[in-house]
Structure 1
Amino acid sequence: MSAEFPVYRAGRQLGIGSLNLNPGDQVVDLGCGTGLNFGLLKERIGPTGTIIGIDRSTKMLAQARRKADRHGWTNIILIQADATTASPAFLSASITSHGGKALSDATLATYALSLMKPWEAAWDAMKQLTRPRGSLCIVDMQEPTSLFPGMTALAQSACRLGGADITAHPWKGVERDCTDVTKASARSGHLQIRTGRRRSR
Protein backbone atom coordinates (compact mmCIF):
# COMPACT_ATOMS: atom_id res chain seq x y z
CA MET A 1 0.00 0.00 0.00
CA SER A 2 1.52 3.33 -1.02
CA ALA A 3 -0.95 5.32 1.05
CA GLU A 4 -2.43 3.99 4.23
CA PHE A 5 -5.56 4.52 6.27
CA PRO A 6 -4.60 5.35 9.88
CA VAL A 7 -6.44 2.23 11.07
CA TYR A 8 -3.70 0.00 9.67
CA ARG A 9 -0.89 1.39 11.82
CA ALA A 10 -2.16 -0.73 14.73
CA GLY A 11 -1.23 -3.90 12.86
CA ARG A 12 2.25 -2.62 12.11
CA GLN A 13 2.82 -1.78 15.76
CA LEU A 14 1.61 -5.16 16.97
CA GLY A 15 3.58 -7.07 14.36
CA ILE A 16 6.86 -5.25 14.85
CA GLY A 17 6.49 -5.45 18.62
CA SER A 18 5.98 -9.21 18.41
CA LEU A 19 9.34 -9.75 16.69
CA ASN A 20 11.20 -8.98 19.95
CA LEU A 21 13.97 -7.24 18.05
CA ASN A 22 17.20 -6.26 19.76
CA PRO A 23 19.75 -3.53 19.00
CA GLY A 24 22.04 -4.71 16.24
CA ASP A 25 19.54 -7.12 14.65
CA GLN A 26 19.07 -7.41 10.91
CA VAL A 27 15.44 -7.49 9.77
CA VAL A 28 13.95 -8.03 6.32
CA ASP A 29 10.88 -5.93 5.49
CA LEU A 30 9.39 -7.83 2.54
CA GLY A 31 7.10 -5.68 0.42
CA CYS A 32 8.41 -2.62 2.24
CA GLY A 33 6.70 -0.14 -0.10
CA THR A 34 7.49 3.44 0.83
CA GLY A 35 9.08 2.48 4.14
CA LEU A 36 6.12 2.82 6.51
CA ASN A 37 7.71 0.28 8.88
CA PHE A 38 11.17 1.82 8.96
CA GLY A 39 10.67 4.21 11.86
CA LEU A 40 9.16 1.53 14.11
CA LEU A 41 11.92 -0.92 13.19
CA LYS A 42 14.67 1.65 13.76
CA GLU A 43 13.40 2.28 17.28
CA ARG A 44 14.17 -1.36 18.09
CA ILE A 45 17.32 -2.22 16.16
CA GLY A 46 19.08 1.10 16.71
CA PRO A 47 21.98 2.49 14.69
CA THR A 48 23.90 -0.82 14.72
CA GLY A 49 21.09 -2.89 13.22
CA THR A 50 20.16 -3.21 9.57
CA ILE A 51 16.85 -3.02 7.71
CA ILE A 52 16.62 -4.86 4.39
CA GLY A 53 13.71 -3.42 2.40
CA ILE A 54 12.57 -5.53 -0.56
CA ASP A 55 9.92 -4.40 -3.01
CA ARG A 56 9.11 -4.91 -6.69
CA SER A 57 8.16 -1.26 -7.26
CA THR A 58 11.02 1.06 -8.15
CA LYS A 59 8.79 4.08 -7.51
CA MET A 60 7.98 2.97 -3.98
CA LEU A 61 11.61 2.18 -3.28
CA ALA A 62 12.55 5.66 -4.45
CA GLN A 63 10.14 7.10 -1.90
CA ALA A 64 11.56 4.77 0.75
CA ARG A 65 15.08 5.95 -0.06
CA ARG A 66 14.04 9.60 0.19
CA LYS A 67 12.47 8.88 3.58
CA ALA A 68 15.65 7.18 4.81
CA ASP A 69 17.83 10.02 3.53
CA ARG A 70 15.55 12.63 5.07
CA HIS A 71 15.88 10.99 8.49
CA GLY A 72 19.56 10.21 8.15
CA TRP A 73 18.99 6.46 8.34
CA THR A 74 22.17 5.06 6.82
CA ASN A 75 21.66 1.41 7.79
CA ILE A 76 18.87 0.62 5.33
CA ILE A 77 19.50 -1.58 2.30
CA LEU A 78 16.87 -1.42 -0.46
CA ILE A 79 16.53 -4.18 -3.06
CA GLN A 80 14.23 -4.11 -6.07
CA ALA A 81 12.84 -7.62 -6.62
CA ASP A 82 9.56 -9.49 -6.98
CA ALA A 83 9.50 -11.97 -4.10
CA THR A 84 7.07 -14.24 -5.97
CA THR A 85 9.52 -14.85 -8.83
CA ALA A 86 13.02 -14.05 -7.53
CA SER A 87 14.75 -17.05 -6.02
CA PRO A 88 15.74 -16.91 -2.35
CA ALA A 89 19.34 -17.46 -3.50
CA PHE A 90 19.14 -14.34 -5.67
CA LEU A 91 17.66 -12.30 -2.82
CA SER A 92 20.29 -13.53 -0.38
CA ALA A 93 23.08 -12.73 -2.83
CA SER A 94 21.63 -9.26 -3.35
CA ILE A 95 21.60 -8.66 0.39
CA THR A 96 25.19 -9.78 0.91
CA SER A 97 26.41 -7.78 -2.09
CA HIS A 98 25.09 -4.66 -0.33
CA GLY A 99 26.87 -5.52 2.93
CA GLY A 100 24.10 -7.36 4.75
CA LYS A 101 24.11 -10.84 6.27
CA ALA A 102 22.80 -13.75 4.20
CA LEU A 103 20.33 -14.72 6.93
CA SER A 104 18.41 -12.19 8.99
CA ASP A 105 17.34 -12.28 12.63
CA ALA A 106 13.75 -11.49 11.68
CA THR A 107 11.58 -11.15 8.60
CA LEU A 108 8.35 -9.19 8.35
CA ALA A 109 5.59 -8.66 5.79
CA THR A 110 2.86 -6.14 6.58
CA TYR A 111 -0.17 -5.96 4.26
CA ALA A 112 2.08 -7.25 1.47
CA LEU A 113 1.45 -10.94 0.90
CA SER A 114 -2.25 -10.43 0.17
CA LEU A 115 -1.08 -8.32 -2.78
CA MET A 116 1.12 -11.10 -4.13
CA LYS A 117 0.20 -14.09 -6.27
CA PRO A 118 1.20 -16.66 -5.33
CA TRP A 119 1.81 -15.45 -1.79
CA GLU A 120 3.22 -18.88 -0.92
CA ALA A 121 6.30 -18.15 -3.05
CA ALA A 122 6.97 -14.94 -1.14
CA TRP A 123 6.41 -16.76 2.15
CA ASP A 124 8.98 -19.38 1.12
CA ALA A 125 11.45 -16.57 0.44
CA MET A 126 10.76 -15.11 3.88
CA LYS A 127 11.57 -18.43 5.55
CA GLN A 128 14.76 -18.94 3.59
CA LEU A 129 16.03 -15.43 4.36
CA THR A 130 15.61 -15.97 8.13
CA ARG A 131 18.13 -17.70 10.35
CA PRO A 132 17.08 -20.85 12.25
CA ARG A 133 15.02 -19.84 15.30
CA GLY A 134 14.71 -16.34 13.86
CA SER A 135 11.35 -14.57 14.01
CA LEU A 136 8.86 -14.34 11.15
CA CYS A 137 5.75 -12.19 11.19
CA ILE A 138 2.87 -11.67 8.79
CA VAL A 139 0.40 -8.84 9.29
CA ASP A 140 -2.53 -8.88 6.91
CA MET A 141 -6.29 -8.48 6.54
CA GLN A 142 -9.50 -10.44 6.59
CA GLU A 143 -13.15 -9.50 6.74
CA PRO A 144 -13.85 -8.02 10.19
CA THR A 145 -15.92 -9.95 12.70
CA SER A 146 -17.61 -6.80 14.01
CA LEU A 147 -21.37 -6.46 13.77
CA PHE A 148 -20.95 -2.71 13.38
CA PRO A 149 -23.00 -1.70 10.32
CA GLY A 150 -20.86 -1.05 7.28
CA MET A 151 -17.60 -2.30 8.81
CA THR A 152 -17.26 -5.25 6.43
CA ALA A 153 -18.12 -3.19 3.37
CA LEU A 154 -15.58 -0.53 4.40
CA ALA A 155 -12.86 -3.15 4.86
CA GLN A 156 -13.65 -4.76 1.51
CA SER A 157 -13.52 -1.39 -0.21
CA ALA A 158 -10.18 -0.52 1.38
CA CYS A 159 -8.68 -3.81 0.23
CA ARG A 160 -10.01 -3.44 -3.29
CA LEU A 161 -8.61 0.08 -3.45
CA GLY A 162 -5.18 -1.21 -2.47
CA GLY A 163 -5.38 -4.28 -4.70
CA ALA A 164 -5.28 -6.76 -1.81
CA ASP A 165 -7.11 -10.09 -1.66
CA ILE A 166 -9.02 -10.00 1.63
CA THR A 167 -9.59 -13.76 1.40
CA ALA A 168 -5.91 -14.74 0.98
CA HIS A 169 -5.16 -15.22 4.72
CA PRO A 170 -1.36 -15.56 4.20
CA TRP A 171 -0.71 -15.83 7.95
CA LYS A 172 -1.67 -19.49 7.54
CA GLY A 173 1.94 -19.96 6.47
CA VAL A 174 3.18 -18.94 9.92
CA GLU A 175 0.70 -21.21 11.64
CA ARG A 176 1.69 -24.15 9.45
CA ASP A 177 5.46 -23.77 9.22
CA CYS A 178 6.70 -22.06 12.40
CA THR A 179 7.12 -22.96 16.04
CA ASP A 180 6.15 -20.84 19.08
CA VAL A 181 3.38 -19.14 17.11
CA THR A 182 1.62 -16.19 18.70
CA LYS A 183 -1.64 -14.74 17.43
CA ALA A 184 -3.09 -11.26 17.71
CA SER A 185 -5.75 -9.21 16.00
CA ALA A 186 -7.00 -5.62 15.90
CA ARG A 187 -9.80 -3.50 14.47
CA SER A 188 -12.60 -6.01 15.08
CA GLY A 189 -10.54 -8.85 13.68
CA HIS A 190 -9.86 -7.07 10.38
CA LEU A 191 -6.12 -7.04 11.09
CA GLN A 192 -4.51 -10.39 11.77
CA ILE A 193 -1.00 -10.80 13.17
CA ARG A 194 0.91 -14.06 13.36
CA THR A 195 4.47 -14.41 14.58
CA GLY A 196 6.57 -17.53 14.95
CA ARG A 197 10.09 -18.86 14.83
CA ARG A 198 11.77 -20.58 11.92
CA ARG A 199 12.29 -24.26 12.59
CA SER A 200 15.87 -25.31 13.23
CA ARG A 201 15.61 -27.93 10.47
Structure 2
Amino acid sequence: MPIKVHASLAPPDPYMDFSLAHVEKIYCSWGRHPLFYKAACAITFLGRERRLRQMAVDALALRHGDTVLEVACGTGLNFEFLERAVGPKGNIVAFDYSKEMLEAAQKRAQNRGWNNIRFLQGDAAELELDTPVNAVISVLGISAIPRHMMALEKAVAALRQNGNISIMDARLPTGFWSMFNPLIAFVYTRWASWDYTKTIPNDIRRYIKDANMETLNGGTIFIVYGPKPNP
Protein backbone atom coordinates (compact mmCIF):
# COMPACT_ATOMS: atom_id res chain seq x y z
CA MET A 1 0.00 0.00 0.00
CA PRO A 2 1.27 3.51 -0.75
CA ILE A 3 2.58 5.31 2.31
CA LYS A 4 0.94 8.57 3.30
CA VAL A 5 2.93 11.65 2.33
CA HIS A 6 3.30 14.31 4.98
CA ALA A 7 4.01 18.02 4.75
CA SER A 8 7.32 18.99 3.20
CA LEU A 9 10.22 20.89 4.64
CA ALA A 10 11.04 24.50 3.94
CA PRO A 11 13.93 24.84 1.46
CA PRO A 12 17.31 25.05 3.23
CA ASP A 13 18.91 26.75 0.26
CA PRO A 14 17.93 29.67 -2.00
CA TYR A 15 18.60 27.66 -5.17
CA MET A 16 15.72 25.30 -4.91
CA ASP A 17 12.38 24.18 -3.55
CA PHE A 18 13.12 20.85 -1.82
CA SER A 19 9.51 20.00 -1.03
CA LEU A 20 8.06 16.56 -1.67
CA ALA A 21 5.79 18.06 -4.30
CA HIS A 22 8.75 19.41 -6.23
CA VAL A 23 10.72 16.19 -5.85
CA GLU A 24 7.73 14.32 -7.24
CA LYS A 25 7.50 16.71 -10.21
CA ILE A 26 11.18 16.30 -11.08
CA TYR A 27 11.29 12.52 -10.81
CA CYS A 28 7.96 12.12 -12.54
CA SER A 29 9.68 13.62 -15.58
CA TRP A 30 12.78 11.43 -15.18
CA GLY A 31 10.62 8.34 -14.78
CA ARG A 32 8.86 9.05 -18.06
CA HIS A 33 12.23 9.38 -19.81
CA PRO A 34 14.43 6.64 -18.29
CA LEU A 35 17.03 6.80 -21.05
CA PHE A 36 17.69 10.46 -20.27
CA TYR A 37 17.89 9.56 -16.60
CA LYS A 38 20.43 6.85 -17.39
CA ALA A 39 22.51 9.38 -19.33
CA ALA A 40 22.37 11.85 -16.44
CA CYS A 41 23.59 9.14 -14.04
CA ALA A 42 26.50 8.33 -16.37
CA ILE A 43 27.53 11.99 -16.26
CA THR A 44 27.19 12.14 -12.47
CA PHE A 45 29.43 9.09 -12.06
CA LEU A 46 31.95 10.45 -14.58
CA GLY A 47 31.73 7.31 -16.71
CA ARG A 48 32.32 4.88 -13.82
CA GLU A 49 28.69 4.13 -13.07
CA ARG A 50 28.80 0.34 -13.23
CA ARG A 51 31.95 0.10 -11.14
CA LEU A 52 30.63 2.45 -8.45
CA ARG A 53 27.19 0.87 -8.26
CA GLN A 54 28.87 -2.52 -7.87
CA MET A 55 30.97 -1.13 -5.02
CA ALA A 56 27.86 0.10 -3.23
CA VAL A 57 26.32 -3.37 -3.49
CA ASP A 58 29.55 -5.15 -2.50
CA ALA A 59 29.61 -3.15 0.73
CA LEU A 60 26.44 -4.97 1.81
CA ALA A 61 28.17 -8.38 1.84
CA LEU A 62 24.95 -9.98 0.61
CA ARG A 63 24.49 -13.73 0.34
CA HIS A 64 22.19 -15.75 -1.89
CA GLY A 65 18.73 -15.87 -0.34
CA ASP A 66 19.01 -12.50 1.43
CA THR A 67 16.39 -9.76 1.26
CA VAL A 68 17.60 -6.23 0.48
CA LEU A 69 15.70 -2.96 0.64
CA GLU A 70 16.58 -0.26 -1.87
CA VAL A 71 15.50 3.21 -0.77
CA ALA A 72 14.89 5.57 -3.71
CA CYS A 73 15.33 2.77 -6.23
CA GLY A 74 14.61 5.06 -9.19
CA THR A 75 14.38 3.25 -12.51
CA GLY A 76 16.07 0.13 -11.15
CA LEU A 77 19.65 0.76 -12.23
CA ASN A 78 20.96 -1.18 -9.22
CA PHE A 79 18.76 -4.23 -9.78
CA GLU A 80 21.29 -6.02 -11.97
CA PHE A 81 23.93 -5.91 -9.24
CA LEU A 82 21.51 -6.74 -6.44
CA GLU A 83 20.08 -9.69 -8.35
CA ARG A 84 23.52 -11.24 -8.75
CA ALA A 85 24.16 -10.76 -5.04
CA VAL A 86 20.93 -12.25 -3.63
CA GLY A 87 20.30 -14.81 -6.37
CA PRO A 88 16.92 -16.08 -7.58
CA LYS A 89 15.97 -17.23 -4.07
CA GLY A 90 16.64 -13.80 -2.60
CA ASN A 91 14.35 -10.78 -2.65
CA ILE A 92 14.55 -7.08 -3.40
CA VAL A 93 12.18 -4.50 -1.91
CA ALA A 94 12.20 -1.53 -4.30
CA PHE A 95 10.96 1.65 -2.61
CA ASP A 96 10.48 5.05 -4.23
CA TYR A 97 8.29 8.11 -3.89
CA SER A 98 7.77 8.59 -7.63
CA LYS A 99 5.12 6.44 -9.28
CA GLU A 100 6.73 7.05 -12.67
CA MET A 101 10.15 5.94 -11.50
CA LEU A 102 8.65 2.79 -10.01
CA GLU A 103 6.82 2.07 -13.25
CA ALA A 104 10.09 2.37 -15.16
CA ALA A 105 11.75 0.07 -12.61
CA GLN A 106 8.95 -2.47 -12.95
CA LYS A 107 9.33 -2.43 -16.72
CA ARG A 108 13.07 -3.05 -16.35
CA ALA A 109 12.40 -5.99 -14.04
CA GLN A 110 9.80 -7.47 -16.39
CA ASN A 111 12.11 -7.19 -19.37
CA ARG A 112 14.87 -9.01 -17.46
CA GLY A 113 12.59 -11.67 -15.98
CA TRP A 114 13.29 -10.63 -12.38
CA ASN A 115 10.30 -11.92 -10.45
CA ASN A 116 11.66 -11.53 -6.94
CA ILE A 117 11.20 -7.75 -6.63
CA ARG A 118 8.47 -6.16 -4.52
CA PHE A 119 7.63 -2.56 -5.46
CA LEU A 120 6.46 -0.06 -2.82
CA GLN A 121 5.60 3.60 -3.27
CA GLY A 122 5.85 6.11 -0.45
CA ASP A 123 7.77 8.75 1.47
CA ALA A 124 11.03 7.29 2.80
CA ALA A 125 10.60 9.32 5.99
CA GLU A 126 7.48 7.23 6.69
CA LEU A 127 8.89 3.87 5.64
CA GLU A 128 7.50 0.83 7.47
CA LEU A 129 8.09 -2.80 6.49
CA ASP A 130 6.24 -5.81 7.85
CA THR A 131 9.43 -7.85 8.24
CA PRO A 132 13.08 -6.77 8.70
CA VAL A 133 15.57 -7.08 5.85
CA ASN A 134 19.18 -8.26 5.67
CA ALA A 135 20.49 -5.09 4.05
CA VAL A 136 19.57 -1.57 2.92
CA ILE A 137 21.04 0.38 0.03
CA SER A 138 20.49 3.83 -1.43
CA VAL A 139 22.43 5.31 -4.34
CA LEU A 140 22.06 9.03 -5.10
CA GLY A 141 18.82 8.98 -3.15
CA ILE A 142 19.27 10.35 0.36
CA SER A 143 20.45 13.76 -0.85
CA ALA A 144 17.13 14.22 -2.70
CA ILE A 145 14.84 13.01 0.08
CA PRO A 146 13.12 15.65 2.23
CA ARG A 147 13.34 14.79 5.94
CA HIS A 148 16.33 12.64 5.13
CA MET A 149 17.23 12.12 8.79
CA MET A 150 13.90 10.41 9.36
CA ALA A 151 14.46 8.40 6.18
CA LEU A 152 17.83 7.20 7.50
CA GLU A 153 16.30 6.32 10.86
CA LYS A 154 13.53 4.34 9.18
CA ALA A 155 16.01 2.58 6.89
CA VAL A 156 18.16 1.46 9.82
CA ALA A 157 15.05 0.41 11.74
CA ALA A 158 14.10 -1.86 8.82
CA LEU A 159 17.39 -3.76 9.19
CA ARG A 160 17.93 -6.97 11.07
CA GLN A 161 20.53 -6.76 13.83
CA ASN A 162 24.01 -6.74 12.26
CA GLY A 163 22.47 -6.21 8.82
CA ASN A 164 24.46 -3.86 6.59
CA ILE A 165 23.52 -0.49 5.14
CA SER A 166 25.26 1.14 2.17
CA ILE A 167 24.68 4.77 1.22
CA MET A 168 26.32 6.18 -1.90
CA ASP A 169 25.84 9.81 -2.77
CA ALA A 170 27.50 12.88 -4.26
CA ARG A 171 29.03 16.11 -3.01
CA LEU A 172 30.54 19.22 -4.51
CA PRO A 173 34.15 19.06 -5.75
CA THR A 174 37.00 20.61 -3.81
CA GLY A 175 40.28 22.04 -4.98
CA PHE A 176 40.72 23.09 -8.62
CA TRP A 177 37.32 21.81 -9.77
CA SER A 178 35.47 23.77 -7.09
CA MET A 179 35.39 26.71 -9.51
CA PHE A 180 32.53 24.87 -11.20
CA ASN A 181 30.52 24.44 -8.00
CA PRO A 182 28.05 27.26 -8.70
CA LEU A 183 27.21 25.69 -12.07
CA ILE A 184 27.02 22.17 -10.63
CA ALA A 185 24.78 23.34 -7.80
CA PHE A 186 22.56 25.27 -10.21
CA VAL A 187 22.06 22.27 -12.50
CA TYR A 188 21.70 19.47 -9.98
CA THR A 189 19.46 21.27 -7.50
CA ARG A 190 17.04 22.12 -10.28
CA TRP A 191 17.17 18.89 -12.26
CA ALA A 192 17.77 16.31 -9.51
CA SER A 193 16.48 18.05 -6.37
CA TRP A 194 20.00 17.54 -5.00
CA ASP A 195 20.53 19.14 -1.59
CA TYR A 196 24.30 19.42 -1.42
CA THR A 197 24.14 21.01 2.05
CA LYS A 198 23.33 17.68 3.72
CA THR A 199 26.13 16.09 5.74
CA ILE A 200 25.11 12.51 5.02
CA PRO A 201 28.29 10.75 6.29
CA ASN A 202 27.88 12.45 9.67
CA ASP A 203 24.14 11.89 9.67
CA ILE A 204 24.35 8.14 9.09
CA ARG A 205 26.83 7.83 11.95
CA ARG A 206 24.08 8.84 14.34
CA TYR A 207 22.67 5.37 13.71
CA ILE A 208 25.72 3.42 12.50
CA LYS A 209 28.47 4.65 14.80
CA ASP A 210 31.24 2.54 13.29
CA ALA A 211 30.35 3.27 9.68
CA ASN A 212 33.17 3.14 7.16
CA MET A 213 33.55 5.77 4.45
CA GLU A 214 35.28 5.82 1.09
CA THR A 215 35.61 8.78 -1.26
CA LEU A 216 35.68 8.19 -5.01
CA ASN A 217 35.88 10.10 -8.27
CA GLY A 218 38.11 12.78 -6.83
CA GLY A 219 35.91 13.14 -3.77
CA THR A 220 32.70 13.88 -5.67
CA ILE A 221 31.21 10.47 -4.80
CA PHE A 222 31.27 8.86 -1.36
CA ILE A 223 30.05 5.61 0.11
CA VAL A 224 29.22 5.16 3.79
CA TYR A 225 28.50 1.65 4.99
CA GLY A 226 28.42 -0.56 8.03
CA PRO A 227 26.36 -2.98 10.17
CA LYS A 228 23.44 -2.12 12.38
CA PRO A 229 24.73 -2.31 15.94
CA ASN A 230 23.17 -4.46 18.62
CA PRO A 231 20.85 -2.57 20.99
TM-score (norm 2): 0.76
1:58 has 2:95 as partner: no
- Equivalent in 97, 110, 113 of residue 72 of structure 1: 113
Shift of 1:152: 3.1
- Equivalent in 194, 197, 201 of residue 224 of structure 2: 194
Given residue 41 of structure 2, which amino acid in structure 1 is its aligned partner?
F
1:36 aligns to what?
A: 77
Post-superposition Cα deviations, 1:136-171, rounded to whole Å, max 9, x if no partner, equal: 111111111242475534542452221110121223
1:177 aligns to what?
A: 207
Unaligned stretches of 5+ in structure 2?
1-26, 31-36
1:125 aligns to what?
A: 154
Query: By percentage of residues, which structure has more strand?
Result: 1
1:142 aligns to what?
A: 171
- Equivalent in 165, 171, 193 of residue 195 of structure 2: 165
Inter-partner Cα distance in structure 1 for 2:178 and 2:123: 38
Q: Percent identity?
A: 26
1:5 has 2:34 as partner: no
Post-superposition Cα deviations, 1:176-200, rounded to whole Å, max 9, x if no partner, equal: 3215422111121111110011111
Contact 1:15–1:137 (8 Å) recurs in 2: yes
Query: Aligned runs of 1:97-108 on 2, under 5 Å?
Result: 102-108=131-137
Unaligned stretches of 5+ in structure 1?
94-101
1:98 aligns to what?
A: none
Instruction: Tell me: CA distance 1:57–1:149, structure 2 relative to 1, closer, same or farther (3 Å).
Output: closer
Given residue 125 of structure 1, which amino acid in structure 2 is its aligned partner?
K
Inter-partner Cα distance in structure 2 for 1:56 and 1:118: 13
1:83 has 2:124 as partner: yes
Contact 1:47–1:75 (8 Å) recurs in 2: yes
CA RMSD of aligned residues (A): 1.8
Given residue 227 of structure 2, which amino acid in structure 1 is its aligned partner?
R
